[in-house]
């Protein structure tokens, strides 16, 4: 674990001013990012010099925080998970099971990302939402537990289909390497997997039920 030495302090930019902290020593022996005294980072974990862990957060299990990313406000990142490319995990949120948060994305407000899932391209996940089961959220704006629905395996390649609102509130779907509006899913299925049209029709029908109940209330990440 990162230890505090020589009464060093650092201002994490959270309005609390300079607090007791120390630089993490990465597994290769190089100096890493700042870690507050009330947080813990395990010896097998990477924190790049421009990233930080603060405010009672914990990063462990061979995970990494890099590329000007930050984990704070009592959050956890573990099980080889990665937070990078200017992303943030805060507000008691958890990223685990080898999941990834990147491309300037935000996970906050007690949300969870698990099961090797990816949250990227500036996505926002909040309101205690759950992204799991290897789901991919690309540019999503998920503000509640029922703003994401993932199921599978479906189709000829046994992929997961994940529904969520994009940044404009449009119902968006990711299936394997395809991402696009829900309104296009049936046509894509007919073109790419004609033997599974009926299965995808059932997926679309379920997704449409979920979309009907959405009440979009999105805020910006902390």
Partners of 149 in beta bridges: 163
Query: For residue range 4-44, what is the model confidence (pLDDT) as tens digits?
Result: 444 699 999 888 899 999 999 999 999 999 999 999 999 99
Percent of the chain past pLDDT 70, that is, above it, reads 93
Contact between 21 and 8 under an 8 Å Cβ cutoff? The reply is: yes
Contact between 42 and 24 under an 8 Å Cβ cutoff? The reply is: no
Res. 222 pLDDT band, cuts 50 70 90: low
pLDDT at 214: 85
Contact between 84 and 103 under an 8 Å Cβ cutoff? The reply is: no
Query: For residue range 143-169, what is the model confidence (pLDDT) as tens digits?
Result: 999 999 999 999 888 999 999 999 999
pLDDT at 15: 85
Average confidence (pLDDT) over 93-117: 98
Average confidence (pLDDT) over 68-96: 98
Average confidence (pLDDT) over 120-135: 95
pLDDT at 1: 55
Task: Give the residue, 23 or 1, on which the prediction is more confident.
Answer: 23
Following CA atoms 73, 74, 80, 83 in sequence, which dihedral angle do they give, to the nearest 10 degrees?
Answer: -10
pLDDT at 5: 46
Annotate 119-150 with DSSP letters as a single string. EESS-EE-TT-EE-TT-EEESBEE-SGGG-EE
Quote the mean pLDDT of the chain.
92
Residue-range domain boundaries for the chain? 61-213
Closest C-alpha to 145, from 122, 117, 111, 172: 111
Average confidence (pLDDT) over 90-114: 98
The model carries a pTM of 0.90
Q: Is the confidence at residue 3, as pLDDT, over 80?
A: no
Res. 217 pLDDT band, cuts 50 70 90: very low
Q: Is the confidence at residue 219, as pLDDT, over 50?
A: no
């Amino acid at each position: 674990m990162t230890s505090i030495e020589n009464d060093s302090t650092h201002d994490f930019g959270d309005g609390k001013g300079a607090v007791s902290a120390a630089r993490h020593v990465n597994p290769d022996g190089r100096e890493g990012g700042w870690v507050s005294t009330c947080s813990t980072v395990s010896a097998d974990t990477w924190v790049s010099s421009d990233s930080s862990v603060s405010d009672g957060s914990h990063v462990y299990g061979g995970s990494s925080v890099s590329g000007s990313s930050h984990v704070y406000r009592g959050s956890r990142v573990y099980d080889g998970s990665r937070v990078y490319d200017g992303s943030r995990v805060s507000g008691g949120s958890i990223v685990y099971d080898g999941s990834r948060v990147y491309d300037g994305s935000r996970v906050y407000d007690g949300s969870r990302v698990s099961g090797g899932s990816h949250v990227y391209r500036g996505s926002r996940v909040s309101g205690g939402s759950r992204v799991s089961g290897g789901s991919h959220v690309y540019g999503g704006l998920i503000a509640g537990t029922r703003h994401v629905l993932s199921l599978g395996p479906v189709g000829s390649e046994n992929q997961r289909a994940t529904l969520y609102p994009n940044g404009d509130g449009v119902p968006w779907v990711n299936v394997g390497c395809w991402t696009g509006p829900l309104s296009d899913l049936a046509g894509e299925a007919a073109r790419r997997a004609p033997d599974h049209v009926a299965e995808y029709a059932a997926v679309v029908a379920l997704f449409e039920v979920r979309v009907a109940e959405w009440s979009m209330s999105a805020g910006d990440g902390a």
